[in-house]
Structure 1
Amino acid sequence: MSDGFTEMLDRAQAFYGDLARNNSKDWFEPRKEAWKRDIEAPAKLLAEIMAEELSRLTGDAHTGKVFRINRDVRFSKDKSPYKTMLAMLWSSGDADSLAPAFYFGIEPDRTFVGCGTPGFDKEGLTRYRAMVDRWGDRLTEIIDASGGHLAEIGPEPLKRVPKPYDPDHIHGDLLRRKSLALGLPLAEGWRESGEGVVAALTERFELLMPFRRFLAERL
């Protein structure tokens, strides 16, 4: 039986598709209350439910949040006022910035699930690179087994393998990265199953769990 969030997802995709074509305050303001009622409110409920599910799966307490729709345009050439996707994040509340987080994004023409760290600070990069140097083979195996792809989020990768690592390091592509996250679409046919968004997300998060566990243990 559907959990009711499929309707929210469908509304979100239609709404953000229209918003992408009409990204202005004049268009959004008359529709703001409907967006808050029909999209933001159920999305916040989904975030709460999935926080409980992730706490069960990981054994660590997770909290969820829905990202605000307003864009920060202060330092951007693009002055479009609104984001054209609905995004949610779940984190364990660990003060360590390397703690992997989970992500769900709804765009007009696709959905995707993610897990990882969107950007390492200086100390985090040192720890990450040492982990790749020592455990890169195992990390690559886990990434391949997940069926996910390396997500292009966070800072741009370096052009060269950083010192003191060999320029021809077997895991040079990973060493050049300044962030590490895996992405997956929702499973093909998830709608036809009739089980709903919570079940579809849980299935994807379970696939990403070995990756999350590896980062939590090795970083």
Structure 2
Amino acid sequence: MNETIPRETFSFLKKLNKNNNREWFTEHKKEFKEIEREVKQFYNQLGEELNKHDQIDKVKVFRIYRDVRFSKDKTPYKTHFGGSFHRIKPQLRGGYYLHIAPNNESFIATGFWEPHKDDLLRIRKEFEIDDTEIRKIISKKSFKDVWGEFEGDEVKTAPKGFSKEHKSIDLIRKKQFIFTKKFTDKEVTSAGFMEEINVYFKAIRPFFNYMSEVLTTDLNGVSLLD
């Protein structure tokens, strides 16, 4: 069991940032593999903790290698660790993400990063009909103290088929529905980090429960899963 991120993680990533080339990485690959092993243990243990109050069917830790085919930045390696936790679909929607990066740039994220166009339309239609429940959830003090406000991209005025004068246009114009929370390097390597972020992830559940219900029913409330 590994419930902490080793301090060596940040020092290695800082060195990698200064030496982002195949020669240096090959020379230090043994060091990387040991750090990667411990970091993956942390992600997998966090997945087990999430499974105590949610249903996670997959923990995915992303590879360190960058896809540079369509990027102007040709450096071959990422200078962070990232991993996602997938809920059991189609009945449970939303997901969790943990980003480990030096210089106090670590964060957790949760919500809906790139909703499928059909899901996005369904969400917008729900907000168009009734925004009472979603506003009640995200404005509750216990929720807001943890997650703050919605983040993510949005259209400038109104999506096609929606009025820019609608009272819920602040919600309808969103293309993403995400929340993030940042952490310092000291917080990430502390003994209580896993427990802390697990509590934060647990706090998102009212939002996930609501969105899962929306995305598994039609506008009449009839289940789409039968």
Task: Tell me the TM-score range normalised by the shorter chain.
Answer: 0.7 to 0.9
Residue of 209, 212, 216 corresponding to 1:216: 212
Unaligned runs of 5+ in 1: none
Question: Conserved in 2, the CA contact under 8 Å of 1:190 and 1:200?
Answer: no
Deviations 1:46-85 (Å, cap 9, x if unpaired)?
2222222222212x24321111111111111221211121
CA distance in 2, matches of 1:121, 1:132: 17
Identify, as 1 or 2, the structure richer in helix: 1
Confirm whether residue 11 of structure 1 aligns to residue 8 of structure 2.
yes
> 1:167: Cα distance to partner?
0.6
In the TM superposition, what is the alpha-carbon distance from 1:7 to its structure 2 partner?
A: 4.4
Asked whether the 8 Å contact 1:118–1:181 carries over to 2, the reply is: yes
- How far apart, CA to CA, are the structure 2 residues paired with 1:170 and 1:21? 50
Q: Give, in whole Å, the separation in 2 of the partners of 1:196 and 1:82.
A: 29
Structure 1 counterpart of 2:46, which letter?
M
Inter-partner Cα distance in structure 2 for 1:191 and 1:112: 9
Q: Indicate how the Cα distance of structure 1 residues 213 and 77 shifts in structure 2: closer, same or farther if over 3 A, else same.
A: same
Cα distance, 1:204–1:41 mapped onto 2, change above 3 Å = same
Q: What amino acid maps onto 1:207 in structure 2?
A: A
| Count of residue pairs brought into register by the alignment | 209
Structure 2 portions without partners, runs of 5+: 216-226
Range moving further from structure 2, 61-70 or 133-142: 133-142
Q: Is 2:2–2:45's contact at 8 Å kept on the other side of the alignment?
A: no
Q: Secondary structure at the match of 1:218?
A: helix
Alpha-carbon distance in structure 1 between the residues aligned to 2:177 and 2:201: 16
Counterpart of 2:223 in structure 1 is none
Question: What is the deviation of 1:180?
Answer: 1.5
**2:85 match: secondary structure:** strand
When residues 74 and 31 of structure 1 are mapped into structure 2, their CA distance, relative to the original with a 3 A threshold, is: same
2-structure distance, mates of 1:173, 1:25: 46
Aligned to 1:78: 73
Q: Which amino acid aligns with 1:99?
A: R
Which position in structure 2 is the counterpart of 1:107?
A: 101
1:160 to 157, 160, 164: 157
Residue 116 of structure 2: aligned partner: 121
1:61-210 pair list within 5 angstroms: 61-95=56-90, 99-108=93-102, 109-145=104-140, 146-147=143-144, 148=147, 149-152=149-152, 156-186=153-183, 195-210=191-206
**Cα 1:51–1:76, aligned 2, differ >3 Å: closer, same or farther?**
same
Q: Give the letter for the 1:12 counterpart.
A: T
Alpha-carbon shift at residue 141 of structure 1 (Å): 3.7
Which has the larger Rg?
Answer: 2
Q: Secondary structure at the match of 1:183?
A: strand
The whole-number CA distance in structure 1 between the counterparts of 2:14 and 2:169 is 38
| Structure 1 length-normalised TM | 0.81
Q: CA RMSD in A?
A: 2.7
Q: Secondary structure at the match of 1:62?
A: strand
2:101 maps to amino acid: E
Percent of aligned pairs with the same amino acid: 28
Aligned position for 2:220:
none
